[in-house]
Amino acid sequence: MMPVEAFLRQDAEAVRPAPALVKRGWRKLLFGDVASSLLTVLISLCALWAVPRVLDWAVFDAVWRGNGQACFDAGACWAFLGAKWPLILFGIYPPDQQWRPIVVVLAFLAITLWSLPERNWTRATATGWLVVIVSSLLLMGGDTLGLQPVPTGDWGGLPITILLTVLSLTIGFPFGILLALGRRSEDRMMRWLSVGFIEIVRGLPLLTMLFIAAILLPLMLPDGVTFDNLSRALVALTFYSAAYLAEVIRGGLQSLPKGQEEAARALGLGRLATLRFIILPQAIHAVIPPLTNTVVVVVKNTSLVLVVGLFDLLSAGRSALTDPDWPSPYIETYILVGFVYFVICFGISRYSLWLEHKLSAGVQR
Amino acid sequence: MTTSPLTGEEPPAIVIDGLNKWYGDYHALRNVELSVKRGERIVICGPSGSGKSTLIRCINALETHQEGAITVNGTQLSSNFKAIDEIRRDVGMVFQGFNLFPHLTILENCMLAPMRVRRQPLAEAEERARHFLARVRIPEQADKYPGQLSGGQQQRVAIARALCMSPSVMLFDEPTSALDAEMVKEVLDIMVDLAEEGMTMLCVTHEMGFARQVADRVIFMDAGQIVEMNTPAEFFGNPRHERTRTFLAQVLH
Ligand SMILES: Nc1ncnc2c1ncn2[C@@H]1O[C@H](COP(=O)(O)OP(=O)(O)OP(=O)(O)O)[C@@H](O)[C@H]1O
Ligand SMILES: [Mg+2]
């Protein structure tokens, strides 16, 4: 027999607080080992070389005000942005009417900010969006409001980017849900139609779809029915959003355990109520990160509408560069345009992180 | 619901007549016949894969069957959505895996169906939800999310959620199998309460103590058939079928 060492506790071990976490200091971070030391030195050298040059160009040699003459043979021509920002942001929209696109941009900014907190996700907010979208279209066009009419071909810049993004996503989202459900449907016809649509749209470059919308659509439609360029671009972008959103949402639907639907149906909830209250909220929550990704891609995709003759933010910026009185300050213009895109996309991405965190707060699985 | 004028007897809660079900080529339920009286408590046991879940899931049409008829409170199950919805409103179900809705609070879990299906106003739905949460002895968890509760608590919420719809029949599919031993009792206690209040119950369970305590009849299933059915005293004291005896020897040790 093995000897057994008996044990019986006499007094309890003390309960102690956990030892404090040791934070890694800067020195450790930058020079902790050979690799990070090398990296630190390398990056510092690059910075030493680049920073003075960039500063010279962007600050010390830059032209801050004045006209085009001052900008030749100088550093950054910020004066150009000061003079041309309306053209860059609003394209060839009639200069004396530019308060209209400004109002539109501000209205979208306001409703977006209003919609951010969860407590404002109400029916009234949804109606608010509808009102903003419709009145923006009317205000930009002008004729129904008795203002100077501006054809959609003359709209440009930021309002085009915003309108195309918002419209293609709001129309594409329900459409994408239908496609995702269709793809999982037991009805073979529905399944084939959905798969067909999704695969065709995903298989075509967006540029091709925009061309098709611009050239083929008018040919296929009966005489007398015309679409302006904005609607054509919108059709292509909406198809694109719907197909990509559908695949993302399908992933979310697949991630749900079967028991969720069964429990809802067993309680007597119908198919629609089950979708609306049980399936979709969970499926969409599960795919917020890829959903955000798709939204950001759609925002940036609007820059392709140039091919159907629309001037979004990027192309409006480029058209500003053609003024012969100024040198062509490409970099400065692209910095401004890039900055606007960045603010929009970075904002969306931060918001989605917050949202994901917020929605997961209670739901720990 | 009405008492028959001729016999003075209430019509049965559930009548299952010649039920056959196949999964592909696999004959999962073979000619099942069962009639459940109002207020009757039935425990179904049997080895894994014998068709217990399939049988009770056919009753609220979570599974479709190919042959036979199922009648619940006088309404016959058909492919008619109206009939299915009517039956589901009246038949509560508790699953092995709880299946609470993780994105809703406990209270919302209990209020959703009464508000959407029974069109109860919010105040009434909330009052009833709190009432049933108190009955399953977790009134204080109402505002938490399912993920914050223990398994036993979640299963009690699932029972409360089903009761909020005022069902006349409750189906249980192994409600305690996913629970740690110390939580089994808290769920069984609730089920015993329910049984004592006269709820019509069909329970798939291997809790033989529960079967002895509350069941009016115990059913043993094997290979898609009802093999033996008897009062608990007879079933446990004097099992007649060979398969029942081997099964009981395994679960009772
Ligand atoms: N969706 C399905 N598709 C195909 N076969 C199935 C399906 N569901 C169940 N089966 C089969 O039908 C038979 C009965 O299954 P069921 O789930 O009713 O058994 P059970 O008695 O509940 O078993 P357990 O005790 O393991 O829960 C099993 O052989 C199972 O493999
Ligand atoms: Mg089972």
Q: Is A267 on the interface with B (CB under 8 A)?
A: yes
Find residues 282-301 of chain A whose CB sits inside 8 Å of chain B. Answer: 282, 285
**pLDDT tens, position by position, A312-341:** 777 777 777 777 778 878 888 888 889 999
- What three-state secondary structure class fits A194? helix
Model confidence band, residue B1 (pLDDT cutoffs 50, 70, 90): very low
- Which residues on B lie below 8 Å from A265 (Cβ)? 62, 88
Cβ-contact B228, B244 below 8 angstroms: yes
Which has the minimum average pLDDT: A5-19, B26-40, B238-252? A5-19
- B68-86 CB burial, b ≥16 within 10 A, e <16: bebbbbeeebeeeeeebbb
Residues in chain B: 253
- Which residues on A lie below 8 Å from B112 (Cβ)? 267, 269, 277
Taking alpha carbons only, the member of A245, A258, A262 closest to residue A180 is A245
Sequence-distant (6+) residues with CB within 8 A of A84 are: A320, A323, A326, A333
pTM: 0.84
- What three-state secondary structure class fits B229? strand
**pLDDT tens, position by position, A243-298:** 999 999 999 999 999 999 999 999 999 999 999 999 999 999 999 889 999 999 99
Q: Does residue B253 carry a pLDDT above 60? A: yes
In the block, residue with structure tokens 């004592």: B196
What one-letter code names the amino acid at A273? A
Cβ-contact B114, B95 below 8 angstroms: no
Model confidence band, residue A362 (pLDDT cutoffs 50, 70, 90): low
Residue A34 CA to residue A16 CA, distance in Å, equals 38
Tell me if B117 and A268 make a contact (CB, 8 A cut-off).
yes
- The structure tokens listed for A119 are 């407590």
Pocket of ligand 1 (CB under 6 A): B 23, 26, 28, 46, 48-54
Using CB atoms, pick whichever of A268, A281, A364 lies closest to residue B85. A268
Residue B109 CA to residue B101 CA, distance in Å, equals 6
Distance, CA B56 to ligand 1 centroid (Å)?
A: 12
Distance, CA B49 to ligand 1 centroid (Å)?
A: 5
Q: At what angle do helices A188-203 and A229-255 cross, to 10 degrees?
A: 120
Mean pLDDT to the nearest integer, B34-63? 93
What class is the A88-93+150-360 domain? mainly alpha
Residues in chain A: 365
- When comparing pLDDT for B115 and B83, which is higher? B115
- Long-range CB pairs of B108-112 (<8 Å, 24+ gap) are B109/B146, B109/B157, B109/B161, B110/B157, B110/B160, B110/B161, B110/B164, B111/B164, B112/A267, B112/A269, B112/A277
Cβ-contact B27, B224 below 8 angstroms: yes
- What three-state secondary structure class fits B57? helix
Query: Which residue's CA is the nearest one to ligand 1's atom 7?
Result: B23
- Which residues on A lie below 8 Å from B158 (Cβ)? 263
HSE at residue A78, side-chain half, CA atoms within 13 A, is 9
Model confidence band, residue A28 (pLDDT cutoffs 50, 70, 90): confident
What CA–CA distances, in Å, run from A87 to A156, A301, A312, A359, B130?
Answer: 9, 21, 11, 41, 62
Q: Is A363 on the interface with B (CB under 8 A)?
A: yes
**pLDDT tens, position by position, B130-171:** 999 999 999 999 999 999 999 999 999 999 999 999 999 999
Mean pLDDT to the nearest integer, B205-216? 92
Cα A158-A163-A165 angle, rounded to 5 deg: 95
Residue B232 CA to residue B211 CA, distance in Å, equals 7
E strands in chain B: 14-23, 26-36, 41-45, 67-72, 75-76, 91-94, 169-173, 200-204, 217-222, 225-230
Residue B235 CA to residue B247 CA, distance in Å, equals 12
Q: At what angle do helices A78-90 and A313-320 cross, to 10 degrees?
A: 130
Tell me if B148 and A364 make a contact (CB, 8 A cut-off).
yes
Nearest CA in chain B to A361: B145
Q: Is A265 on the interface with B (CB under 8 A)?
A: yes
Distance, CA B52 to ligand 2 centroid (Å)?
A: 6
**pLDDT tens, position by position, B183-203:** 899 999 999 999 999 899 999
Helical residues (DSSP H) of chain A, grouped into ranges: 26-31, 34-55, 68-71, 78-90, 99-115, 123-141, 158-183, 188-203, 206-211, 217-220, 229-255, 258-266, 271-273, 280-286, 288-301, 313-320, 330-360
Using CB atoms, pick whichever of A277, A285, A363 lies closest to residue B145. A363
Total CB pairs under 8 A between chain A and B:
72
Dihedral sign (CA A91, A96, A102, A104): negative
Going by their DSSP bridges, the two strands B41-45 and B200-204 should be labelled as parallel
- Which residues on A lie below 8 Å from B142 (Cβ)? none
Q: What is the dihedral of CA A303, A307, A308, A314, to 10 degrees?
A: 30
